[in-house]
Amino acid sequence: MRNATKTLAIALTAGALTLGLAACGADKGSDKNGALVVAASPVPHAEILNYVKDHLAEKAGLKLEVKEFTDYNTPNTATEDGSVDANYFQNQPFLDDFNKKKGTHIVPVVTVHLEPLGLYSHNVKKADDLKSGATVAIPNDTVNEARALKLLDANGIIKLKSGVGNEATPKDIADNPKGLKFKELEAPQLPRALDDVDAAVINGNYAIEADLKPAKDALVLESPKNNPYGNFLAVKKGNEDDPRVKKLAKLLTSPEVKKFIKDKYDGSVIASF
């Protein structure tokens, strides 16, 4: 009798553990019959996703949930650990750097749009008007810092050493005619820094959030031609064939979304499909 009671207790404990693990798995948003949970930057990514949710998803049979994040780290870690099913906020050089440094396994699904990086100022109207010794704020993450310096190089403001890639820093500047000083800041802080520096190179999404109009307000702006910084929908490797992901990828590259991007952002965000 004692052995039978012991056996029953073990079985009940195992059953409870199984149910507990199943419940934990359910919390991670991995139910392919449930809503697809997507992490996104508020502007323009979440706005584009919410347009899809409100106007296109129901007809396509897709349940979509949008979770907004204001930083560039959490969306990938949340996608890796299954807290969300996908994310939409980044470009390929940034993802390559993140996967390498963090050991994550995030992969792109479909490229949707480009947010041109721009140089902004509250003090001057043209880049040529920057004074000698002016302070320019730039993003402090590896990829966007290099991207910012390449923008300045492409517009003749500085000259980078030959062959520098996506890890360029101010130390890689070969020629700095105006003796510009660089202040490295977290990307979301850059619009707020405009009152404290002479100019700042700001990512398109943060510029738009700060009511800047990249197509009109930027002193210099990235060209969309052959630009490697298109933003895409991404998932953890192995989830590319999730039917919900495929539906969203199709909707994000639909004529309706292209028109929405063109009408809403007036050249400050450019469809890449």
Q: pLDDT, tens digit, for every residue of 156-199?
A: 999 999 999 888 999 999 999 999 999 999 999 999 999 999 99
Please state the pTM of the whole predicted model.
Answer: 0.77
- The answer as to whether 142 is a domain residue is yes
- The answer as to whether 180 is a domain residue is yes
Question: Residues 210, 126: one domain?
Answer: yes
Question: Residues 246, 112: one domain?
Answer: yes
What is the per-residue pLDDT for 33?
72
Domain that holds residue 202: 118-221
Provide the residue count of the chain.
273
Question: Residues 193, 134: one domain?
Answer: yes
**Cβ(120)–Cβ(218) under 8 Å?**
yes
Number of domains forming the structure of the chain: 2
- The answer as to whether 12 is a domain residue is no
Phi/psi for 217 (5° steps) reads: -95, -20
What is the per-residue pLDDT for 30?
53
Name residue 224's amino acid. P
- The answer as to whether 257 is a domain residue is yes
CATH (domain of 60): 3.40.190.10
Question: Residues 111, 241: one domain?
Answer: yes
Element (H, E) at 234: strand 231-236
- The answer as to whether 6 is a domain residue is no
**Which residue numbers in the chain have pLDDT < 70?**
1-32
Which residues, at least 6 apart from 264, have a Cβ–Cβ distance to it below 8 Å? 44, 47
How far is it, in rounded angstroms, from Cα 175 to Cα 46? 40
How far is it, in rounded angstroms, from Cα 98 to Cα 105? 9
**Cβ(203)–Cβ(118) under 8 Å?**
no
Question: Residues 73, 205: one domain?
Answer: no
What is the per-residue pLDDT for 213?
93
- The answer as to whether 196 is a domain residue is yes
- The answer as to whether 203 is a domain residue is yes
- The answer as to whether 134 is a domain residue is yes
